[in-house]
């Protein structure tokens, strides 16, 4: 369990610790689809953080230099472990529940020991690993209630198998989610929300691997279904960390759609979008973009409506001349390169609540009318476009540095996302 021992690169097999329920074929389809999409994140996760970060963590916890295992792969990285210590130092939790034991169990137990105590209950699906972890903690001078929780179907309305948890505490002050592995199902960790009703006011949720596509979709669904918990992806870890903070009001859950034939329809839609390199969350399910994207998307949709209206009016002066350098000098905005086959119809400065914006109306080689909206804004998107919808329009949006872009039109979602991916690949020029 320490760096004195050899630890495997791959996560432990779970066959002996799961029920013999028949796994739906749709789960296998999702694993194949997300495996094809997620390999960059999985490859990057092999790196567990810098040696200096690990050394600083050990000093911070007053642990020996060889107390932790070699990090990376399926184990938590140093960034996520530092976040655990940060939160314990901040909120001094009385009760911590952890899903997926390992290096985080030692770090959490030690941090609790240093910050006034607290109870740690850790669940893992591997019975042999539970026993080994308990012994390891004892050797390092800390303790935790490490329990075996086999994976079973039907515990949650989320897809995949979930922990068969026993004797849960009535209230949870810190919930750490680092399991089950994504190979069970890309959305499997979404089922952790069955514990959200037990979160105390001001409680914190920490989700590891939050940069992966599956966990990003989970986070968006949580934001929609649990408005009393604010979720934010924070920097500082190689695999991404999502932090949720419960407000002091009650939350109401929106039922998760039941699985059926729609699972196959969503899987087929996902497969169709592989060529774009990303998944649209509106295609994957009835999702809503986080609140901080609403203003930007509403402005983008409004600019499209105004552009269409201008096209129909004879009295409005239009210009199809695009001077990138002039826009950059005057408005401070950098625009992506547009395909040479697209025809510019109108280029206008747009006075948005977000600041100066540019709205460009274009006609594609397929005679589709689109509007590109560009401004400085913060959204959940990165270079890979996300998708939203507004009445009859589809809006695909992405970010490049400090700039946010939205492509809007009355197109099918998959087509809009493909066009946006085409633009985002060119980068801001």
Mean pLDDT of the chain: 79
Both tokens assigned to 173: 């002050």
Collect all residues with Cβ–Cβ distance below 8 Å to 184 and sequence separation of at least 6: 14, 27, 151, 160, 161
Same domain, 228 and 289: no
Lowest mean pLDDT among 31-40, 63-72, 180-189: 31-40
Terminal CA-to-CA distance of the chain, rounded, Å?
49
Decide which of 148 and 5 is more confident.
Answer: 148
Q: What is the pLDDT of residue 191?
A: 95
Q: Which of 199, 226, 256 is the last residue of a domain?
A: 256
Same domain, 162 and 47: yes
Sign of the four-CA dihedral 134, 138, 140, 142? positive
How many domains are contained in the chain? 2
Distances (CA, A) of 323 to 47, 365, 374, 429: 44, 22, 14, 12
Q: Which of 221, 256, 291 is the last residue of a domain?
A: 256
- Domain coverage including residue 404: 278-426
Same domain, 293 and 210: no
Tell me if 106 is assigned to some domain: yes
Band (pLDDT 50/70/90 cuts) for residue 363 is: very high
Tell me if 269 is assigned to some domain: no
Same domain, 48 and 191: yes
Same domain, 233 and 315: no
Same domain, 225 and 180: yes
Model confidence at 285: pLDDT above 90: no
Q: Return the bridge partners of 369, or none.
A: 363
How far does Cα 19 stand from its chain's mean position? 28
Tell me if 356 is assigned to some domain: yes
Question: What single string gives the DSSP state of each residue in 180-236?
Answer: S-TTT-TTGGGGGGGGGGGEEEEEEEEEESTTSHHHHHHHHHHHHH-TTEEEEEESS
Tell me if 6 is assigned to some domain: no
d(CA 106, CA 101): 9
Mean of the pLDDT values across residues 237-263?
64
The total of other beta-carbon atoms located within 10 Å of residue 377's CB is 25
Model confidence at 34: pLDDT above 60: no
Model confidence at 246: pLDDT above 70: yes
Lowest mean pLDDT among 153-167, 313-327, 413-427: 313-327
Model confidence at 62: pLDDT above 90: yes
Tell me if 10 is assigned to some domain: no
Same domain, 101 and 132: yes
Cβ–Cβ < 8 Å for 88, 115: yes
d(CA 225, CA 227): 6
Same domain, 252 and 282: no
Q: What angle do CA 384, 210, 22 make, to 5 degrees?
A: 105
Report if pTM > 0.85.
no
Cβ–Cβ < 8 Å for 35, 170: no
Same domain, 420 and 320: yes
CATH number at residue 368: 3.30.200.100
- Provide Rg for the chain, Cα atoms: 24
Tell me if 193 is assigned to some domain: yes
Same domain, 237 and 354: no
Q: What is the pLDDT of residue 403?
A: 87
From the number of C-beta atoms within 10 Å of its C-beta (0-12, 13-18, 19+), residue 6 rates as exposed
Q: What is the pLDDT of residue 199?
A: 96
* Percentage above 90 pLDDT, the chain: 41
Same domain, 151 and 286: no
Q: Could you report the per-residue pLDDT of 257-284, keeping only the tens digit for each?
A: 444 444 544 444 444 444 344 444 433 4
Q: What is the pLDDT of residue 310?
A: 73
Q: Could you report the per-residue pLDDT of 64-93, keeping only the tens digit for each?
A: 988 887 655 445 788 899 999 999 999 999
Same domain, 225 and 332: no
Tell me if 261 is assigned to some domain: no
Q: What is the pLDDT of residue 5?
A: 46
Tell me if 273 is assigned to some domain: no
CATH number at residue 100: 3.40.50.150
How far does Cα 280 stand from its chain's mean position? 13
Decide which of 354 and 287 is more confident.
Answer: 354
Q: What is the pLDDT of residue 25?
A: 59
The total of other beta-carbon atoms located within 10 Å of residue 179's CB is 28
């Amino acid at each position: 369990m320490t760096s004195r021992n050899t630890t495997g690169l791959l996560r432990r097999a779970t066959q002996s610790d799961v029920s013999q329920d028949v796994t739906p074929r749709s789960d296998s389809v999702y694993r194949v689809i997300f495996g094809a999409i997620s390999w960059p994140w999985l490859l990057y996760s092999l790196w567990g953080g810098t040696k200096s970060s690990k050394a600083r963590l050990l000093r911070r916890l007053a642990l020996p230099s060889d107390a932790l295992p070699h990090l990376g792969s399926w184990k938590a990285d140093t960034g996520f472990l530092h976040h655990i210590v940060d939160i314990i130092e901040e909120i001094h939790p009385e009760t911590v529940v952890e899903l997926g034991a390992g290096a985080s169990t030692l770090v959490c137990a030690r941090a609790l020991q240093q910050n006034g105590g607290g109870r740690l209950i850790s669940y893992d699906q591997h019975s042999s690993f539970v026993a080994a972890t308990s012994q390891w903690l004892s050797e390092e001078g800390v303790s935790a209630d490490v329990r075996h929780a086999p994976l079973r179907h039907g515990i949650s309305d989320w897809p995949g198998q979930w922990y068969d948890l026993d004797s849960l505490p009535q209230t949870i002050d810190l919930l750490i989610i680092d399991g089950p592995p994504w190979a069970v199902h890309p959305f499997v960790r979404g089922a952790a929300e069955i514990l959200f009703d037990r979160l105390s006011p001001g409680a914190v949720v920490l989700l590891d691997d939050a940069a992966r596509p599956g966990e990003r979709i989970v986070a968006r669904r949580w934001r929609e279904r649990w408005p009393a918990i604010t979720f934010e992806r924070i920097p500082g870890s190689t695999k991404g960390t999502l932090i949720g903070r419960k407000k002091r009001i009650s939350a109401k859950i929106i039922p998760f759609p039941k699985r059926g034939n729609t699972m196959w329809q969503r899987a087929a839609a996902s497969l169709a979008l592989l060529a774009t390199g990303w998944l649209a969350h509106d295609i994957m399910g009835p999702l809503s973009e986080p609140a901080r994207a609403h203003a930007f998307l509403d402005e983008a949709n409004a600019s499209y409506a105004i552009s269409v209206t201008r096209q129909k009016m004879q009295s409005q002066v239009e210009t199809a001349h695009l001077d990138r350098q002039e826009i950059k000098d005057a408005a401070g905005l950098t625009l992506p390169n547009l395909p040479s086959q697209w025809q510019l119809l109108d280029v206008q400065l747009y006075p948005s609540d977000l600041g100066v914006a540019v709205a460009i109306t274009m006609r594609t080689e397929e005679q589709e009318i689109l509007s590109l909206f560009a401004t400085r804004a913060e959204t959940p998107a990165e270079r890979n476009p996300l998708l939203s919808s507004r009445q009859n329009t589809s809006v695909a949006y992405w970010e490049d540095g400090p700039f946010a872009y939205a492509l809007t039109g009355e197109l099918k979602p998959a087509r809009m996302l493909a066009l946006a991916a085409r633009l985002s690949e060119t980068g801001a020029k």
